[in-house]
Structure 1
Amino acid sequence: MKKFLKITMLTSITVASTGAFAEDFSFDRPGTGFGTSTAPVGHVAWEQGLPTVQYSKANINNDQQQRVSLQEDMLLRTGLTKDLELQLGWDGPSWLRTTQNGKRTNISGLGDMNVGLKKAIDLQDNRMSMALLGQVTIATGNYDFSNHDNIYAIASSVQYAQNDLLTTGITMRYEMQNSDWAVTAVPTLSYKLSNKWSGYSEFVYRKQESEHIQTSLATGVMYALNNRMQLDASIGAGLSGDVPDYKGGFGVSFLF
């Protein structure tokens, strides 16, 4: 009986402690930016796209070309220390349909993988938080779904809680691929709609060497089934160029 009570007490303490960890933790999906919290030590966060759909339409040599793609990206996060986490990501299985001059072409394959370390920075501020992310994208995917060369990136995220309902933030990302560079800025608004519902809106600005500036807008909602599982939905549209470009998708996240 004593042994049973001891096991029960240990189990209760473990569950309570896990719940406390989960309350302080937030998932990074959806969105282009990332949050400032890290995964709890001894736990794994699995963030899965279900999938993401992208549509674009362009005129090439006086022929209309339409592209529809599906991608099931995945991210695993686990805490190494109180404020440091390891990330393993995969662009996942992808499918692309191209329609031009009445002819359809379907291809499928696997995307690239990435490895990263995310470090939360203690600013000694109750409202402001910050995190740094170092990441390497490894060109392991199939030809049509790969970056072809490794990408080395460093990024920062700063968030400021205006009040209990609204948080403003910005993610800055700097990339290097061979000798080419790229910079991405993502200002974000995050808002709490209710105890279960929350949302975000973001503007994405990206400039890659020798390429035109790319801009887009996106918004989405998240529903917390509990403090360990989240569902999300998001939509977005490209703003730069004459080519219509739309993106949307669903996702699910778990904390184990």
Structure 2
Amino acid sequence: MKIWQSTAFGLALASSMPSFAAEFSFDRPGTGFGTGITPMGKLAWEQSLPTVSYSKASSDNGLEKTTTIQGDMLFRTGLAQDLELQVGWDGPAWQQVKNAMGKTETHGLGDVSVGVKKAIDLHDDRMTMALLGRVSFATGNTDFSNGHDIYTIGSTVAYQQDDILSTSITMLYALEGSDWSVTAVPTLNYKLSDKWSGYSEFVYRKKESQSDQTSLATGVVYALNARTQLDASVGFGLAGDTPDYSGGLGVAFLF
């Protein structure tokens, strides 16, 4: 079972964390993408330290347990006031599979992606929106690659309820080989203090000819300063081909 095929465990948070100015916010941690745009002349580096997932599934060799550790990263730079370029890499990875036949370990590199995100001006002080177009190239090693290029278009709409709570929803539509998939990510973001914030998200994904995939995740973010944040998150699958448990640490810098 390839637990890294799902775009539901890609990169990025479904809406902006309130620790940063409205025109920019880091996209990690989480599943979707935020509405903030990296300022022109600046570079954002978002790095997992790393991400870990654990799954159990039935196989011809009995119950199979899979543990994966992966260090994905995302680079973002502003092209215009409302437009940014993104380059992502699923990074180096290690995987261990245990079943009745024994234990096997593999390691390798993941796929590379390129995307463009554009902010949409809704002329609203509380509501923001952004669109994303992304291509993921199957450049990784066999055990850590999607196996084919993936073309994704998506949108995020976020609404600032008050100084503490914001809500958002990310929609992703992807062409994976010859099959289409749709992913919906409603998210709650909440400010805990001047430096601490948190999020909770529900992920629903449906791919042609496959069962529904659902998961829950939550996490916290610490704003070390205006240009650096640390994050920690945990999640678990509810149904379908998703990891039973996942979690990780991350760091993001704005240069």
TM-score (norm 1): 0.89
Partner of 1:133: 132
Assess if the C-alpha contact under 8 Å between 2:213 and 2:242 holds in 1. Answer: no
Partner of 2:254: 255
Partner of 1:69: 68
Q: Distance in 1 between matches of 2:67 and 2:197?
A: 29
Deviations 1:2-60 (A, max 9, x none): xxxxxxxxxxxxxxxxxxx9674210000001110100000000000000000011232
Larger-Rg structure: 1
2:56 counterpart SS class: strand
Q: Distance in 2 between matches of 1:30 and 1:99?
A: 29
Deviations 1:204-236 (A, max 9, x none): 000001000000000000000001000000000
Give the structure with the higher percent helix: 1
**1:121 counterpart = 2:120:** yes
Deviations 1:157-193 (A, max 9, x none): 0000000100000000000123210000000000000
**1:179 counterpart = 2:178:** yes
2:31 counterpart SS class: coil
Deviations 1:40-82 (A, max 9, x none): 0000000000000000112324722111000000000000000
**1:36 counterpart = 2:35:** yes
Once the two structures are superposed, the pairs formed by residues 1-256 of structure 1 within 5 Å of their partners are 24-61=23-60, 63-101=62-100, 103-241=102-240, 245-256=244-255
Superposition CA RMSD, Å: 1.5
Deviations 1:124-165 (A, max 9, x none): 000000000000001100111111111101000000000010
Q: Which runs of 4+ in 1 moved over 4 A?
A: 241-244
Gaps of 5+ in 1: 1-20
Q: Distance in 2 between matches of 1:117 and 1:23?
A: 19
1:239 counterpart SS class: strand
Assess if the C-alpha contact under 8 Å between 1:22 and 1:255 holds in 2. Answer: no
Judging changes above 3 Å, is the alpha-carbon distance between structure 1 residues 106 and 38 closer, same or farther for their aligned structure 2 residues?
Answer: same
User: What is the aligned-residue identity percentage?
Assistant: 65
- Counterpart of 1:216 in structure 2: which amino acid? S
Judging changes above 3 Å, is the alpha-carbon distance between structure 1 residues 90 and 50 closer, same or farther for their aligned structure 2 residues?
Answer: same
Q: Distance in 1 between matches of 2:73 and 2:177?
A: 25
Q: Distance in 1 between matches of 2:244 and 2:158?
A: 29
TM-score (norm 2): 0.89
